[in-house]
């Protein structure tokens, strides 16, 4: 692939002027064809792979397309070729390595290059004719605009906003992309997407001393002037003690924190600001948290870690991905930091993938300490301008900007130039897989492809490897490095299983807690130590039910029962967000006896309040961390022991690093074990081992209590023994027997329609067609666990394919079958997509 790409490029370099040049372009559309346009002789010198051009597609639509191949072969067929309308870039905005990666994604995950292009580029780099344009309210006119640009701005100002067609009309041009691009670059206009993201830089109010109060004498004067204003004087004194007179001096404080900690009202602060003693400053946060200085707290590796580091470097030499299987709290992150240091010293870039960027504030702090502004986050939630800026910094490998990019899966699409290391942290996490929309890629697997393209080492790190990766080790495709000792030689936590059934029978349950968990918690709290409780369900109760007739309220848009959220005193659909009030009577028999069933984090929090009235309890789940910074604040409070018990969903299992957690409780392991999926044991093990790993990380050994009503379940025993290998061997046997990954390749085909009968028809047509070729490798169609979401009925067809070399052929066959079914009469409203290696 790589070779042909470069060859074509070379051909175009040597082409003689009399030969016609053609450009194959990628359009941001879900179409599988390739699109070829004529290059007018005038444009030829400017043509390069990786630049954007404007092309017409369909009757009236214009797109910014990306040139991905230049050549001299006229396309076959008898149709009129269109010409490229305009050239948008002088230099490529996408590099060769990316295009190779994109082609791999499109082929492997059965989607179009256009879909990859759409996912990869920040939206400001993809003008589409549907985009709405308006004036940037922050733009200050300078003399730099020409007549046309000024006229357009005035029009937009008057009209509020306009789409690209209206702008074309206004300018009397077939395409106004070139003009818009200039205005975008000058920050004079904004695109609709930005507005939707409520384009406001994230800011916080910081309080600092006013300019008038900068010398010790001036501070003294200010304090004296406040003698009669006691509150103001207190506030200023507090401020000084927490900033310039603090043992770690700072210049400013968060306004919110200042008011809270000084315990004064906003009016007092305002008085000091009015007196020009303090001042308020709006500071942008997020990506621009620059000016961290580095190298403050670099740790030395201990002997075991040092040895592991050497082994890793050795393993990289085999040019295979390396799996680091290291127990929780063994210091994997510290080892990564050392590796990164060395790569940076060689002047190369590092990609550090994490499963969820929102949950990594502790990691970011550690990296910032080590690398200062050379480490930064790339987040798909950043606004466009920020993302574009990062894009170009990385494309041009600007040394004064990010060299270490920490990002969730979308960071694999950045235009790296000189990748020297790719780290995939917690490689087993399923959030590496993109679920919707296409491309439905797994960032871990794409990272491995990137490693090949860039000839860069790839390190997969985890305490609980995915079966896929571990199997690749067995096949010698990956190298394995193991680290079996916790930092400071602390023992792995002691894990016990508590039998819910027995405790219930003997009436010993304390609300949701078995006696053993209750006693351990009590002891920990008495010793001023902390507790983490894990329950993988948010809300108060997973569902409510009529005690008389068994009726369960369901979502009106989806085929699922509604979850009861007490704090909102209502029922919520976790699929579509639909809410309704808790019914007073049963919808069937009108009985008033409605009861909640099961328990979620909210209920646990409430019950704990009764069991441990002295303890400070916090809940960490999707509902409590929606607000900006709420996650960080909770982490901060837990770190500072303002919280004794932290109850949470999966969020508490991921990489948290606290020093004083003595006890971890898993409230209901049954839910994990009984989940209907072939991976449920693998996942149960990962989740339980990970959350257990939060206990006893510093100082003293931790204790874990797993509550279950299947106390002798073999997976629980494997968690207790930390025996990954046994679990792996046992499960792999079944995977082989029932033809599951990693032995077989799964492709899930999702068929959707708003009409149930049409869905049935379409799904059967597709399955029949597929059976002709794939025979008994086709399963279904069947309704998944939730057969209707947001009023879309859906069915699934599963392909279990042998791992063979003809995979690409098979995929082509598959895509053809999908296209064929879609184009059958009456199948207009049918949506079909493929999900390769679904999770
Ligand atoms: N060499 C070292 N010097 C000082 N502190 C260390 C060292 N190695 C590890 N630590 C500390 O020990 C704790 C655990 O290390 P770290 O978080 O890197 O482990 P991990 O293997 O990444 O854990 P997990 O897989 O559970 O996330 C951290 O607080 C870390 O700062
Ligand atoms: Zn719903």
For ligand 1, what atom is nearest to the CA of residue 302? 1
Measured from the Cα of 366, ligand 1's closest atom is 31
Q: What is the mean pLDDT of residues 16-27?
A: 81
Distance 458 CA to ligand 2 centre (A): 40
Could you tell me if 320 and 479 are in contact, meaning their C-beta atoms sit under 8 angstroms apart?
Answer: yes
Lowest mean pLDDT across 161-175, 437-451, 552-566, 777-791: 161-175
Distance 805 CA to ligand 2 centre (A): 41
Percent pLDDT > 70 in the chain is: 92
Q: Is the dihedral of CA 411, 412, 418, 420 positive or negative?
A: positive
What would the 3-class secondary structure string for 257-298 be? HHHHHHCCCHHHHHHHHHCCCEEEEEEECCCCCCCCCCCCCC
b/e 159-196 (16+ beta carbons within 10 angstroms → b): eeebebebbbebbeeebbbebbbbbbebebbbbbbbee
Q: Residue 503 has what pLDDT?
A: 94
- Tell whether residue 134 is among the known ligand binding residues: no
Give the residue whose CA is nearest to atom 5 of ligand 1: 299
* Kind of pairing between the strands at 189-191 and 132-135: antiparallel
Answer whether residue 699 shows pLDDT above 90. no
3-state helix, strand, coil in the chain (%, to 5): 40, 20, 40
Position 715 pLDDT exceeds 70: yes
Rounded Cα–Cα distance for residues 687 and 430 (Å): 11
pLDDT at 507 over 90: yes
Per-residue model confidence (pLDDT) at position 173: 80
Cα distances (angstroms) measured from residue 686 to each of 462, 818, 838: 10, 36, 18
**Residue 543: what pLDDT?**
83
Two structure tokens written together for 375: 């480490």
Which of 129-143, 186-200, 699-713 has maximum average pLDDT? 699-713
1 pLDDT above the threshold of 60: no
**In this model, does residue 196 exceed pLDDT 60?**
no
Residue 820, token pair as written in the block: 């064929």
**Which has the higher per-residue pLDDT, 158 or 4?**
158
Q: Report the pLDDT value the prediction gives residue 559, as an integer from 0 to 100.
A: 85
- Burial letters 261-282, b for 16+ CB under 10 A, else e: ebebeeebbebbeebebbbeee
The DSSP H or E segment spanning 203 is: strand 203-209
Same fold, 303-488 and 494-540+599-733: yes
What residues pair up with 459 in beta bridges, in sequence order? 322, 423
What is the DSSP secondary-structure string of 510-557? BTTB-HHHHHHHHHHHHTT-EEEEE-S--SSBSEEEETTT----B-SS
Q: Exposure string (b/e) for 300-310, b if CB count within 10 Å is 16 or more?
A: ebeebbeebbe
**Does 305 sit in the ligand 1 pocket, CB within 6 Å?**
yes
Q: Does the beta carbon of 299 sit less than 6 angstroms from any atom of ligand 1?
A: yes
Q: What is the pLDDT of residues 535-587, one digit of tens each?
A: 988 888 788 888 888 888 888 888 888 888 887 778 888 888 888 888 888 98
- Please determine, for residue 130, whether its predicted confidence score (pLDDT) is greater than 80: no
Average pLDDT, the chain: 86
C-alpha dihedral, 608 to 609 to 610 to 614, nearest 10°:
110
Weakest mean pLDDT among 189-203, 323-337, 397-411, 819-833: 189-203
Q: What CATH class does 303-488 carry?
A: alpha beta
Q: How far is the CA of 249 from the centre of ligand 1 (A)?
A: 27
Give the residue, out of 487, 489, 686, 698, with the most ligand 1 atoms within 8 A of its beta carbon, to mutate for a pocket test.
487
Q: Whose CA is nearest to atom 8 of ligand 1?
A: 331
Is residue 200 over pLDDT 50?
A: no
DSSP string, 306-368: HHHHHHHHHHHTTTS-EEEEE-TTS-HHHHHHHHHHHHHHTT-EEEEE-S-GGG-HHHHHHHH
pLDDT at 351: 97
Please tell me the residue having the least CA distance from ligand 1 atom 25.
328
Q: Residue 443's closest CA among 462, 427, 463?
A: 427
Has 15 been labeled as part of a binding site? no
Smallest CA separation from ligand 1 atom 11, residue: 331
The span from the CA of 702 to the CA of 663, in Å, is: 6
Q: Stretch 734-760: mean pLDDT, rounded?
A: 93
Q: How far does residue 465's CA lie from ligand 1's centre (Å)?
A: 18
> What is the radius of gyration, based on Cα positions, of the chain?
30
- CATH architecture assignment, domain 744-836: 2-Layer Sandwich (3.30)
Q: Is 110 annotated as a binding residue?
A: no
Report the interhelical angle of 96-108 vs 113-120 (nearest 10°).
130
Mean pLDDT of 723-737: 95
392 lines ligand 1 (CB under 6 A): no
Q: pLDDT confidence of 9, banded at 50, 70, 90?
A: very low
Residue 85 pLDDT exceeds 90: no
Asked if residue 468 has pLDDT above 90, the reply is yes
Give yes or no for residue 292 having a pLDDT over 50.
Answer: no
91-108 per-position pLDDT tens digit = 999 999 999 999 999 999
Pocket test for ligand 1, best of 300, 329, 483, 651 (most atoms within 8 A of CB): 329
Q: How high is the pLDDT of residue 698?
A: 86
pLDDT over 80 at 284, yes or no: no
Ligand 1 contacts CB of residue 657 (under 6 A) = yes
Q: How far apart are CA 691 and CA 426, in angstroms?
A: 13
Q: Which CATH architecture has domain 2-125?
A: 3-Layer(aba) Sandwich (3.40)
Averaged pLDDT for residues 36-44: 90
**Which pLDDT band holds residue 199 (cuts at 50, 70, 90)?**
very low
* Residue 314 scores a pLDDT above 90: yes
Q: Quick one: pLDDT at residue 192?
A: 59
Grade residue 373 by pLDDT with cuts at 50, 70 and 90.
confident
pLDDT of residue 14: 44
Q: Which residue has the CA at smallest separation from atom 6 of ligand 1?
A: 331
Is residue 92 within 8 A of residue 49, CB to CB? The reply is: yes
Domain boundaries, the chain: 2-125, 132-196, 203-284, 303-488, 494-540+599-733, 744-836
Closest Cα partner for 136 from 200, 204, 187, 202?
Answer: 187
Q: Distance (Å, rounded) from C-alpha 452 to C-alpha 471?
A: 19
Q: Ligand 1 centroid vs 491 CA: distance in angstroms?
A: 14
pLDDT of 140 above 90? no
The pLDDT score that the predictor gives to residue 364 is 86
pLDDT for residue 414: 95
Length of the chain: 839
Q: Which of 283, 286, 285, 287 is nearest to 391 (CA)?
A: 287
Task: Please give the CATH superfamily to which domain 494-540+599-733 belongs.
Answer: P-loop containing nucleotide triphosphate hydrolases (3.40.50.300)
Given pLDDT bands bounded at 50, 70 and 90, which one contains residue 249? low
> What's the average model confidence in pLDDT over 289-294?
46
Please check the confidence at residue 305 and state whether its pLDDT lies above 80: yes
Provide ipTM, 2 decimals. Answer: 0.96
Of 651, 614, 682, 434, residue with least CA distance to 533: 651
Q: Is the link from the previous residue into 538 a cis peptide, with omega within 30 of 0? A: no
Residues 6+ apart with CB under 8 A from 459: 312, 316, 321, 322, 324, 336, 339, 421, 422, 423, 424
CA 343–ligand 1 middle distance (angstroms):
20
User: CA 251 → CA 207, 223, 256, distances in Å?
Assistant: 9, 18, 16
Q: Read off the pLDDT of each residue in 110-118 and give the average, rounded to a whole number.
A: 91
- Considering 163-167, 495-499, 818-822, the range whose residues carry the highest mean pLDDT is 495-499
Q: Provide the phi-psi class of 754: left if phi over 0, else alpha when psi is between -120 and 50, else beta.
A: alpha
Q: Does the Cβ of 463 fall within 6 Å of ligand 1?
A: yes
Question: Which residue's alpha carbon is at the smallest distance from atom 26 of ligand 1?
Answer: 328
Cα distance between residue 250 and residue 747, in whole Å: 55
Residue 164: per-residue pLDDT: 80
* Short-list 709, 710, 665, 711, CA closest to 688: 665
Cα 309 to ligand 1 centre (Å): 14
- Mean of the pLDDT values across residues 768-774? 93
How far apart CA 369 and CA 367 sit, in angstroms, is 5
Give the per-residue pLDDT at 288. Answer: 36
Q: Is 573 annotated for ligand binding?
A: yes
334 lines ligand 1 (CB under 6 A): yes
Q: What is the pLDDT of residue 143?
A: 64
Q: Using a 6 Å cutoff on CB, does residue 462 contact ligand 1?
A: no
Q: How far is the CA of 479 from the centre of ligand 1 (A)?
A: 23
**Residue 736: its H or E element:** helix 724-737
């Amino acid at each position: 692939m790589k070779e042909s790409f470069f060859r074509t490029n070379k051909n175009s370099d040597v082409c003689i002027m009399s030969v016609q040049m053609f450009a194959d372009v990628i359009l941001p559309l879900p179409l599988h064809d390739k699109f070829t346009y004529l290059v007018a002789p005038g444009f030829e010198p400017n043509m390069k792979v990786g630049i954007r051009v404007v092309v017409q597609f369909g009757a009236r639509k214009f797109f910014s397309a990306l040139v991905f191949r230049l050549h001299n072969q006229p396309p076959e067929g008898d149709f009129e070729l269109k010409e490229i309308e305009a050239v948008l870039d002088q230099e490529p905005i996408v590099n060769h390595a990316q295009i190779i990666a994109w082609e791999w994604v499109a082929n492997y995950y059965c989607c179009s290059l256009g879909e990859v292009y759409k996912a990869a580029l920040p939206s400001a780099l993809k003008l589409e004719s549907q985009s709405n344009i308006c004036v940037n309210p922050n733009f200050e006119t300078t003399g730099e605009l020409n007549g046309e640009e000024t006229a357009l701005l005035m029009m937009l100002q008057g009209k509020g906003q306009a789409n690209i067609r209206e702008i074309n009309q206004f300018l009397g041009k077939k395409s106004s992309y070139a003009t818009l691009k200039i205005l975008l670059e000058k920050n004079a206009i904004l695109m609709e997407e930005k507005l939707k993201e409520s384009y406001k830089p994230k800011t916080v109010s910081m309080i600092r001393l006013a300019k008038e109060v900068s010398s010790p004498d001036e501070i003294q004067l200010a304090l004296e002037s406040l003698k009669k204003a006691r509150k103001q004087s207190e506030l200023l004194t507090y401020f000084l003690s927490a900033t310039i007179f603090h043992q770690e001096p700072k210049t400013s404080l968060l306004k919110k924190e200042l008011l809270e900690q000084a315990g004064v009202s906003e009016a007092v602060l305002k008085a000091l600001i009015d007196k020009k003693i303090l001042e308020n400053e709006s500071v942008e946060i997020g990506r621009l948290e620059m000016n961290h200085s580095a190298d403050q707290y670099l740790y030395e590796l201990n002997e075991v870690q040092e040895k592991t580091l050497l082994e890793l470097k050795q393993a990289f030499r085999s040019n295979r991905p390396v799996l680091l299987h290291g127990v929780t709290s063994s210091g994997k992150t510290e080892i990564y930091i050392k590796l990164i240091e060395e790569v940076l010293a060689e002047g190369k870039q590092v990609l550090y993938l994490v499963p969820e960027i929102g949950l990594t504030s502790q990691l970011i702090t550690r990296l910032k300490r080590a690398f200062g502004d050379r480490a930064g986050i790339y987040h798909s939630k950043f606004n466009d301008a920020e993302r574009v800026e990062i894009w170009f910094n990385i494309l041009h490998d600007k040394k004064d900007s990010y060299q270490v990019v920490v990002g969730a899966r979308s960071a694999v699409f950045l235009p790296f130039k000189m990748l020297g290391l790719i780290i995939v942290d917690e490689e087993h996490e399923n959030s590496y897989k993109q679920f919707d929309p296409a491309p439905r890629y797994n960032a871990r697997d794409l990272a491995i492809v990137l490693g090949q393209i860039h000839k860069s080492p790839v390190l997969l790190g985890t305490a609980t490897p995915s079966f896929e990766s571990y199997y690749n080790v067995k096949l010698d495709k990956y190298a394995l490095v193991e680290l079996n000792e916790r930092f400071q030689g602390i023992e792995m936590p002691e894990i016990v299983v508590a039998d819910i059934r027995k405790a219930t029978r003997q009436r010993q349950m304390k609300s949701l807690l078995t006696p053993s968990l209750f006693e351990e918690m009590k002891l920990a709290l008495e010793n001023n130590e902390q507790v983490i409780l894990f329950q993988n369900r948010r809300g108060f109760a997973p569902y409510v039910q009529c005690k008389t007739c068994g009726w369960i309220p369901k979502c009106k848009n989806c085929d699922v029962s509604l979850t009861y959220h007490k704090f909102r005193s209502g029922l919520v659909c976790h699929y579509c967000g639909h809410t309704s009030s808790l019914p007073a009577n049963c919808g069937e028999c009108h009985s008033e006896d409605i009861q909640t069933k099961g328990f979620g984090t909210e209920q646990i929090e409430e019950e704990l309040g009764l069991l441990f009235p002295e303890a400070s309890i916090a809940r960490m789940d999707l509902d409590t961390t929606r607000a900006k910074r709420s996650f960080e604040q909770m982490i901060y409070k837990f770190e500072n022991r303002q919280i004794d018990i932290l109850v949470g969903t999966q969020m508490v299992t991921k990489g948290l690093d606290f020093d004083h957690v003595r006890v971890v409780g898993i409230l209901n392991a049954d839910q994990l074990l009984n989940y209907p999926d072939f991976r449920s044991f693998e996942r149960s093990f990962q989740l339980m081992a990970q959350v257990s790993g939060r206990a006893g990380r510093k100082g003293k050994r931790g204790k874990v209590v797993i509550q279950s009503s299947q106390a002798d379940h073999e997976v629980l025993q494997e968690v207790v023994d930390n025996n990954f290998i046994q679990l792996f061997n046992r499960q792999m046997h079944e995977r082989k027997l029932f033809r599951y990954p990693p032995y077989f390749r799964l492709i899930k085909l999702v068929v959707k329609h708003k009409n149930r009968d049409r869905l049935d028809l379409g799904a059967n047509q597709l399955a029949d067609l597929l059976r002709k070729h794939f025979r008994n490798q086709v399963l279904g169609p069947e309704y998944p666990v939730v057969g209707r979401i947001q009023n879309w009925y859906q069915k699934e067809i599963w392909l279990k394919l042998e791992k063979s070399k003809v995979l690409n052929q098979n995929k082509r066959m598959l895509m053809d079958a999908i296209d064929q079914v879609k184009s059958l009469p009456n199948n207009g409203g049918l949506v079909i997509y493929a999900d390769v290696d679904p999770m």
